[in-house]
Structure 1
Amino acid sequence: MWNKDTKFKITNQLPANQIGDDYILLDAKATKTHELNEIGKIIWTQLQSPKSIKELSTSLQDTFDIDRETLENDITDFVGKLEQLKLISIDE
């Protein structure tokens, strides 16, 4: 189980393309694509080095006008989805 202080990292570097406002990750192994919006792209980019939900929230709060609690909840949901897809893992 993890919490907002747990650090995550990208499991596998996936090829990515910018198409319009979307950022598309190409997961050839799973034969899937994953479409990220602007915030998802920023989170994905920041996870190139291990980061916690708190660290991601601090970074994004400076960029987007959103309250901290909502931001942390949204990041928690997104990170949970990335972990379920095995695109990220806990940095141990």
Structure 2
Amino acid sequence: MNIKSKVTISKNVFAQEIDDETIILDSTTQEYFSLNEIGKVIWSLLSENKNLEQIKEEMLEMYEVPEEQLEKDVLNFLQALEQKGLISID
């Protein structure tokens, strides 16, 4: 996986914002996941069908963080989502 990879949210996943958090439900496994602030931003951008390059660029405008660190953190987060079956990465 790299910043050029294509990410797709699984069809069996539903997300809901509750107060300041985003809760994700995998309807297949019935597992719930809660996202922190950064995860919520990434999920929201994925939901808008943004590619990883667009997500990185938008987040660089939001946060003062080195580009390499942001890219690494985004990719690590997406890898964790993929391992849980919430997204697929091509």
Please state which band the TM-score falls in when normalised by the shorter chain: 0.7 to 0.9
State the 4+ residue runs in structure 1 displaced beyond 4 angstroms: none
Instruction: Provide the identity percentage.
Output: 35
1:12-51 equivalences under 5 Å are 12=11, 14-48=13-47, 49=49, 51=51
Alpha-carbon distance, 1:88 to partner: 0.9
CA distance in 1, matches of 2:46, 2:12: 11
What is the count of residue pairs matched by the alignment? 89
Question: What RMSD, in angstroms, separates the aligned Cα atoms of the two structures?
Answer: 1.7
Corresponding residue of 2:85: 86
Query: Separation in 2 of the partners of 1:36 and 1:72?
Result: 18
TM-score by length of 2: 0.83
Q: Secondary structure at the match of 1:62?
A: helix
Relative to structure 1, the CA distance from residue 27 to residue 73 in structure 2 (aligned partners, 3 Å threshold; closer, same or farther) is: same
Contact between 1:9 and 1:51, CA under 8 Å: does it hold in 2?
Answer: no
Whole-Å separation in 1 of the counterparts to 2:69 and 2:25: 29
Residue 9 of structure 1 corresponds to 8
Q: Considering fraction of residues, name the structure with more helix.
A: 2
2:12–2:26 CA contact under 8 A, matched in 1: no
Alpha-carbon offset, residue 50 of structure 1: 5.0
| Aligned 8 A contact 1:10 1:89 in 2 | yes
The answer for unaligned runs of 5 or more in structure 1 is: none
TM-score (structure 1 length as normaliser): 0.81
Is the Cα–Cα contact under 8 Å of residues 26 and 33 in structure 1 kept in the other structure?
Answer: yes
In structure 2, distance between residues paired with 1:11 and 1:41: 16
